[in-house]
Amino acid sequence: MTRAAFDTFLQGKAGPPPLIAFCEKLAGRVNQSGYEALVADPQLWCNNVARTARLLGVDAASIGFSHADCSAGDVGGGVERNALEAFDRLKQFEDSWLGCIAVIAGPAAVAASLSGRVDEESLAGARQLSADRVEAFCSRRPSLLLLRENTILASAGISTALRKVYSTLRNMANYYNVPIALYLSGYSGGLLSEVAKLRTGIVFLGPDQEGQMPGLSTITALSHEVGSLSIALPFNEPTKAFAMAQRYLEVCAGRSIAFHSMGDIPEDADLEVVRNFVGEFCRHLGELPA
């Protein structure tokens, strides 16, 4: 596959669903260095994410997915500086064939990391930190900027203050003509009914509050509320993943749909199993519901 399917997805058009891998931890194993050594060296980070994406045969890959979750308040730290440089390299050398996704912590995650809560005061502090990150990455023109929120958003909910912060970040991304998306995990059905209010246009659904793939009713409702929807699949469980992909596409016929790995593919994943899933998925695209 090529990035053409990913570009169609970003445009909100129906088409063959692209596969997106969060594979930085797996890239550490491919390089035989481990994740920590990988993110300490921007060139190593970029080269091995690209190498792993090529090995798997996916349409898009990311820089920053794991770091966004574990250090939301670490603006300007060493790993973040390395992420910017690694992304620069990924965009420069791989953009013609691979969708290049930059991932940063969402503002609710940043607010919680700074003060332990998500309210109007903490979001005011998170706004500038998030804006600095958005500007830093958007100036490098990613294919997509993904804001990663965690379970804190599920408990805090979507307030007017949070909507205002997202509006600010969305406007900044629009200035650079970069699409912006929300990544959400640990959610409940009640939260998802509010997600469209953040108006990112593109939503990535990770595992739900039980650590499971999203339910069919959840997907059906949300696919009609947002422009494009990417759904988590367990790439290391091919039979289950392919069966669920078929069911998701059946209930989302005519919508703009993508599939991404169920979180960061772990270092100890069976590489051949993941590769075989991607290969089989691509070979059987014609059998999937349109």
| 137-167 confidence digits (pLDDT tens) | 999 999 999 999 988 887 788 899 999 999 9
Q: According to the model, what pLDDT value does residue 74 have?
A: 57
pTM (two decimals): 0.94
2 pLDDT band (50/70/90 cuts)? low
Q: Considering only 1-5, 118-122, 203-207, 280-284, which range has the smallest mean pLDDT?
A: 1-5
Question: Has residue 131 got a pLDDT over 60?
Answer: yes
Reported as a single tens digit per residue, the pLDDT across 221-252 is 888 889 999 999 999 999 999 999 999 999 99
pLDDT at 209 over 60: yes
Q: Could you say which DSSP state residue 196 is in?
A: G
Position 117 scores a pLDDT of 85
In the chain, what are the domain boundaries? Answer: 4-284
| Higher per-residue confidence, 285 vs 51 | 51
pLDDT of residue 156: 81
Decide which of 124 and 290 is more confident: 124
- Average pLDDT over the chain reads 90
Whole-angstrom Cα distance, residue 101 to residue 110?
19
CATH domain 4-284 topology = TIM Barrel (3.20.20)
Q: What is the pLDDT of residue 69?
A: 66
Per-residue pLDDT band at 290 (split at 50, 70, 90): low
